Structure 1
Amino acid sequence: MRLNAKLVMIMVSLLIIAVCALFILNQYSQNDLVNEIQESSSEVSKAIQISVADLTSEEEFSSRLKEYMKEAKQKGINEVSIISNEGEIIDSSDPEKVGKRRDIRKLGKGLKASRPRKGKQKPVIDSSRPYDMVVPVIVGDEQLGYVHINLLLDNIRNIQHDNFAHRLTVTFLVFMLGIILTIFLARHYTRPIKQIVESVKKVSAGDLSETFPATSRDEIGELASNFNEMVKKLREKELLEKRLYEAEHLSKVGQLASGIAHEIRNPLNYISLAVDHLKNDLIPSTPETEAESRELLDKIKEEVRRVNYMVLNFMSYGRPLKLRLSSLSCGELLEKVLPALKDRLEEQRITLAFEIQEDLPELRADPELLRTCLMNLITNAAQSMPEGGKITLGASFDPELRLFRITCADEGKGISPEDMDRITQPYFTTKEAGIGLGLAITERIVTEHGGKLEVDSTVGKGSLFSLILPEPGKEQEI
């Protein structure tokens, strides 16, 4: 319901409550007034009856009149007198007035009170002043005298005062109800507005994770929905700008890296040719040194060839890889990684351990590319432990799932949840060294083999990288 409709409904409800309350109160007041007038009329009639009987009878009615006045004064009858035609008071509820004379002309006939002073408006019946009622007593064609009744309508005045007090009380209660509803509405609607203001301050400070629940269908709910939609669009805009910036950055880094890769190939070719020349023409002739020299040169030649292979893969990163598949042992693959990294790991006080399952079946894959994957994982693990630690390489086979699992676990600082989804993006890195292609290339190599790269990391405890590779012929089952 809209806010203006709620306000109108509340105002109309208050008006209806006030009208109904005043109407009911007025009905009760009218009933009380009518009952009081009926009782007063009944008492007046009874007084007239007793007075007429006293005037027309020879019996003594003074005692009866006095007994009646004891109760009649509570009903507003102040005095009852019987007056002769000559104006002499024959009998009265006030014995001191018996025998005195009254001017009937001044009293008048019927119900009469003194006139109000000029310039002031008085009600028709002023219950605070006494009223004189003079009734002639006529029997047949003969007038025997008059009955004078002095009325004091205090009960009617009390009813009027009570009625006024009740109306004032009802008006006050309705007014207080309106104040309570106003305070409730003010708090009910200003609280979410204040919360939205706080949310707007947070958004303006750069916190785009702030949202406000839209729980109502009025203007406040519409405001909250629009606010959430605005924040959502701001997040999308920020993400788009961030991706655009990253794309520009990646483009520049890619151009630089491609140029560096081209430049690296030239010295690699020269080193390869120089090693061939050393092997063929400059190896010492003594048997002791010849074998050692040839082994050392073969290792240099192998590493040069591997680096050149990596450069070629890097330069063709956007193109499909060409896999050179062959059968290989996972255990031998892991052990062959150690010689190339042994010196570097010892320098960083990092130990390398192996957990290889026995009787592993052979894996069909590209050995050079898998070796590149392991080199990348070990390099990342070593960079996460600058103070030293332990790296554990493992290999296992799940006979039920028919999957190979090659793992690399470290005791480094771990990966934050914010970076977990980005670590395999090209050129993304949190380290000062490197350009952020190691894990991107690793994931691509594993994907080309029909497998996947899994990462499990806890900040402050380390990371576990797993290469999940299918058994030959099961590539489509992962």
Structure 2
Amino acid sequence: MPRYLDLRFRLATLLSIVIIGMVAALYELNRRAERQILAQVEAQTAQLTMALELGLQSISTSDYLDDFIQSRRLAPEQLQRVRRIAVVDANGLVTDSTSRAERGQRIAPPTDETLVAEGDPLAAGAAANGLARTIFIPFQALGRDGAPERNYVVVTISAQTLADTIALTSRQRLWATGAALLAALAVAVALVWRFTQPIGELIAATRRIESGDLTVQLRLNRRDEIGLLAARFNAMAARLREVRELEERLNQAERAAVVGRLASGIAHEIRNPLNFINLTVDHIRARYAPAEALERATFERLTVAVKDEIARLNALVTNVLRVGRPATLALRPVKLGDLMAAVLHVVQSKAETQQVTLECADETRGRPIEADADSLKSCFSNLVINAIEAMPNGGVLRVRIAEVADGQSVQISDTGPGIAPDDLARIFDPYFSTKDTGIGLGLAVTRQIILDHGGAIDARSEPGQGATFTLHLPYRRQPPA
């Protein structure tokens, strides 16, 4: 039996994998965003530091800032974000600036927001002007009177790249979070469908069984509780089918038993009157036959016809009484080929009337078997007559008698319309007949006789391709165990 995994364990495992995957993806995205922002901050800090150094170094030279910066031959990216550098004295006068128009101008003194504390030139104090930040970095210098005074290096630096990076990473995190939520929702929907869809199939199958369709089978290739439930459901449906078949067989057996008892009772009541009628006909033939030849011939023909019908009715009564009862067989050596030849000779005129060709092949080389000749002759006659009647528009009836391992086989085939599959399964049942005038005892009695001989009989047929009955008879009947 396959090993089934707990449904709760599988569900918890799948949800854990989804959650861990989402957390890991968001964590990695945050790490990348932090690295990008940190790189931008470091680049901006480096350029701010470079601008401060240039401003302080230019004080000790006679060059203006723009000329001094050009003389340093800096790479463009080193001051890419710096918009201006200026040196301002204690009175707010711009003594030097990268903007020539600003030189000699006065600017507003620094505020607490724009002033960076001394000794901490990289502090975050600054004022934002749009996406540019202006920073005042104080330093001590000697005034004209030789007294120390506070001057400033003013740096305006662009915050556009950093702002773009922050905005970009924020959008990325937002989109990633949304995508993770959508992915989680999709996984949840898929899980719900996966675990509820088989339940829907199970409900539909249950409704079919409730309506009487026991052929339903669930095909769920799952290794969890739902798969186990489907397997149990299929086993239950199979068991219900078996129970229904047993009930049908039991009902058929009960009906057959009732009909059999009724038929046996009627047969007993009919047999005695038939014997009396038969004896009476014999008496009439002997005592009251007309003297005139033509009338005597007519009289003989009619009395023979009456006796034939009495014999047919007596045989029918015998069949009714014989169904289901072990026969008393008069066993003696019998050549099946000779027995079949006698049967075919009797039905020759009937076959010619229906344009049926009779073919017989005896491959036993005259080897006899131990059997009751009269009983087997009755079986052969029944099968041959049925085959001829199955070909009202003509055809071929083939008989083949051959030796097998422990006995002989008799195969009787016709080229008629064949037997329907549903009828083929019941063809040996007592009181089952496909003929409008039959009572369904011929094949049942035939089967009983073959079984009494220790043999077997089977029928094969395909619609439109005729039917074949095969009898297997042992050389010697084995005594019952």
Task: Give how far 1:352 is off.
Answer: 5.7
Instruction: Find 1:157's aligned residue among 163, 173, 176.
Output: 163
- The question of whether the paired residues in 2 share the 8 Å contact of 1:350 and 1:382 is answered with no
Q: CA RMSD in A?
A: 4.0
Greater shift in the superposed pair: 47-56 or 446-455:
47-56
TM-score (norm 2): 0.80
Are 1:87 and 2:92 counterparts? yes
Are 1:459 and 2:463 counterparts? yes
Task: Give how far 1:370 is off.
Answer: 0.9
Q: Which residue of 2 aligns with 1:211?
A: 217
**Distance across 2 between alignment mates of 1:84 and 1:98:** 12
**Distance across 2 between alignment mates of 1:291 and 1:397:** 45
- The question of whether the paired residues in 1 share the 8 Å contact of 2:388 and 2:397 is answered with no
Are 1:351 and 2:353 counterparts? no
Q: Quick one: structure 1 residues 98 and 72, their matched pair in 2 at CA, closer, same or farther if it must change by over 3 Å? A: farther
Q: Which residue of 2 aligns with 1:117?
A: none
Q: Quick one: structure 1 residues 336 and 254, their matched pair in 2 at CA, closer, same or farther if it must change by over 3 Å? A: same
Q: Following superposition of structure 1 onto structure 2, how do residues 73-222 of structure 1 map, counting pairs within 5 Å?
A: 75-104=80-109, 106=111, 109-110=115-116, 112-113=125-126, 128=131, 130-138=133-141, 142-143=148-149, 145-182=151-188, 184-185=190-191, 188=194, 192=198, 195-196=201-202, 199=205, 202-203=208-209, 206-222=212-228
Q: Following superposition of structure 1 onto structure 2, how do residues 418-437 of structure 1 map, counting pairs within 5 Å?
A: 418-437=422-441
Q: Quick one: structure 1 residues 243 and 452, their matched pair in 2 at CA, closer, same or farther if it must change by over 3 Å? A: closer
- 1:17 is aligned with what amino acid? G
Q: Quick one: structure 1 residues 297 and 72, their matched pair in 2 at CA, closer, same or farther if it must change by over 3 Å? A: closer
- The question of whether the paired residues in 2 share the 8 Å contact of 1:395 and 1:404 is answered with no
**Distance across 1 between alignment mates of 2:331 and 2:219:** 56
- The question of whether the paired residues in 2 share the 8 Å contact of 1:395 and 1:407 is answered with yes
- 2:262 is aligned with what amino acid? L
Are 1:441 and 2:442 counterparts? no
**Distance across 2 between alignment mates of 1:472 and 1:291:** 47
**Distance across 2 between alignment mates of 1:10 and 1:32:** 33
Q: Quick one: structure 1 residues 18 and 330, their matched pair in 2 at CA, closer, same or farther if it must change by over 3 Å? A: closer
**Distance across 1 between alignment mates of 2:459 and 2:426:** 12
- 2:261 is aligned with what amino acid? Q
TM-score (norm 1): 0.80
**Distance across 2 between alignment mates of 1:67 and 1:11:** 64
Q: Which residue of 1 aligns with 2:369?
A: 363
Gaps of 5+ in 2: 117-123
Gaps of 5+ in 1: 115-124
Q: Quick one: structure 1 residues 66 and 339, their matched pair in 2 at CA, closer, same or farther if it must change by over 3 Å? A: closer
Are 1:273 and 2:279 counterparts? yes
- 1:258 is aligned with what amino acid? S
Task: Give how far 1:212 is off.
Answer: 1.8
- 1:367 is aligned with what amino acid? A
- Partner SS, residue 104 of structure 1: coil
Q: Quick one: structure 1 residues 206 and 74, their matched pair in 2 at CA, closer, same or farther if it must change by over 3 Å? A: farther
Q: Which residue of 1 aligns with 2:38?
A: 34
Task: Give how far 1:25 is off.
Answer: 2.1
**Distance across 2 between alignment mates of 1:365 and 1:319:** 18
Q: Quick one: structure 1 residues 352 and 302, their matched pair in 2 at CA, closer, same or farther if it must change by over 3 Å? A: farther
Instruction: Find 1:469's aligned residue among 457, 473, 480.
Output: 473
Greater shift in the superposed pair: 101-110 or 403-412:
101-110
Q: Which residue of 2 aligns with 1:122?
A: none
Q: Which residue of 1 aligns with 2:121?
A: none
- The question of whether the paired residues in 2 share the 8 Å contact of 1:313 and 1:321 is answered with no
Greater shift in the superposed pair: 287-296 or 64-73:
287-296
State how many pairs are aligned.
Answer: 462
**Per-residue CA shift, 1:6-30, capped at 9, x if unaligned?**
4444443333223222222222222
- 1:81 is aligned with what amino acid? A
Task: Give how far 1:293 is off.
Answer: 10
**Per-residue CA shift, 1:443-476, capped at 9, x if unaligned?**
1211221221132212112111122222247x59
Q: Which residue of 2 aligns with 1:254?
A: 260
Are 1:236 and 2:242 counterparts? yes
Task: Give how far 1:91 is off.
Answer: 0.5
Greater shift in the superposed pair: 205-214 or 436-445:
205-214
**Distance across 2 between alignment mates of 1:126 and 1:30:** 25
- Partner SS, residue 324 of structure 1: coil
Task: Give how far 1:157 is off.
Answer: 0.8
**Distance across 1 between alignment mates of 2:210 and 2:159:** 75
Q: Quick one: structure 1 residues 361 and 447, their matched pair in 2 at CA, closer, same or farther if it must change by over 3 Å? A: same
Q: Which residue of 1 aligns with 2:420?
A: 416
**Distance across 1 between alignment mates of 2:207 and 2:389:** 40
- The question of whether the paired residues in 2 share the 8 Å contact of 1:351 and 1:391 is answered with yes
Task: Give how far 1:191 is off.
Answer: 5.6
Q: Quick one: structure 1 residues 397 and 77, their matched pair in 2 at CA, closer, same or farther if it must change by over 3 Å? A: closer
Are 1:21 and 2:6 counterparts? no
Q: Quick one: structure 1 residues 436 and 21, their matched pair in 2 at CA, closer, same or farther if it must change by over 3 Å? A: same
Matched-pair identity in %: 28
